[in-house]
Structure 1
Amino acid sequence: MPPPEPVAAFVRWFWIPEWRLAAGRTSRQHVIAFPACNLVVEPHTVGLSGPTTRRSHRDLTGTGWAVGALLRPAAVPFFVADPARLRDAYLVVDLPDLQSRVTDAMTGATERAQRHVLAVDAFAGWLTATLPPPDPEALLANTMTELIDTDPGVVRVEDVAARLHVSIRSVQRLARRYVGLPPLAMIRRRRLQEAAQRVRTDPSTDLAAVAAQLGYADQAHLANDFRTVLGFTPSAYRGSTQGSGTAVVR
């Protein structure tokens, strides 16, 4: 769900899964997450999930829900001074007011759509009341990530620096403080996510053409990124999407 305007500088979007599984059944959810932090409220806890460098998964059982906010870089320093320490990690955070507000919203309405609207409003209201306005550097970090995520012409750190009219060192510093990953890793993740999306939506797509279009030196470099992050090759991923599926790009 898109964020309300007052928190648009802090949240890219809100996501709300709900599940109800039969006793003894487990559903494994595989994710290629964005290179960003997520603040997640669940029935009994609040957690901060750091930027990821590889595929992750979660096994769902029983009945449950989660309300997550994919954070923009401007929000990150409020929750963690060094996001690099949270790479591929999850930290329980003590935010009882946020947990209480969101839980009340998720348990106080009977209609699913209404629950989600109320939960997002509660989450956004807490952020608005708690986080200070972003300063110019924080907003520049937001612009940096938007550029990397949306501009296919950005294939090198030098491209980012040129478009932002700053030095390469400034780009590296912004990424370190506000994201927790090097800017080159962010660029590689965006290219990999786009490649995975293309393979999943069109299994007949030519992998060499995809590699060339996304700025990889050749198909072998694309395959190496797939193996490093996903644990299998593009061809294996293509085969899995035609069967039961083994990964979700989010």
Structure 2
Amino acid sequence: MKVFVAGATGATGCLLATRLHAAGHLLNVVVRSVERLPEALREDAQVQVAEAALLDLSDAELVQQVRGCDAVALCLGHNLSLKGIYGQPRRLVTEATRRLCAAIRVHSPNRPVKFLLMNTTGNRNRDLAEPIPLAQHCVIGLLRLILPPHPDNEQAADYLRVQVGQRDVIEWVAVRPDGLIDAAEVSAYTLHPSPTRSAIFDAGKTSRINVADFMARLIEDAELWEHWKGQMPVIYNEEV
């Protein structure tokens, strides 16, 4: 399969790109710094690398990046710094989602293209009217005001839910990990249609390598994709 990965030098995107590369998939990646890519990806002719900020690419360049791709994985996020949180672009994930979907549609693919968005349990799936406690509702409302990345994540998922929907040349899944942690190996994890605990007051843990494994399995496994497409699955590390 041919997969476009955005955010391939990020903590989770790098793990996803490495996992897909090891499985023999063709990759297109856009990265700010080629030197931050793992050596195995930099030196493989099967990996097409563009060095740029994704949103700096023209519409025509994005169309070329996704040409022939069976899946597009968006693992972008805001850096945890003052500039990353409060600087431009404020709608990095939303704009990347919108523009990549537009680029996919230009090709009028004869079979659906999979679009995978890495999101967060702090974002509700409004298709399921997920209930949240009043206290958590208040905290999230505050986060929308003071932390621009939070509404960015919400709006990106809402674009897929509302603008792409369930009848399109694009099929989508928004993966929602909880508190992200690092781990050396894939471990047991559980998947749920909605959060089973409070993202604010009782957050679980999700290793980045488990997120990468689940996203790769969604790309590779048709049955798993059929189960979760058009949904926002929540992933937690299995508690020992």
TM score, norm. by length of structure 2: 0.27
Bigger-Rg structure (1/2): 1
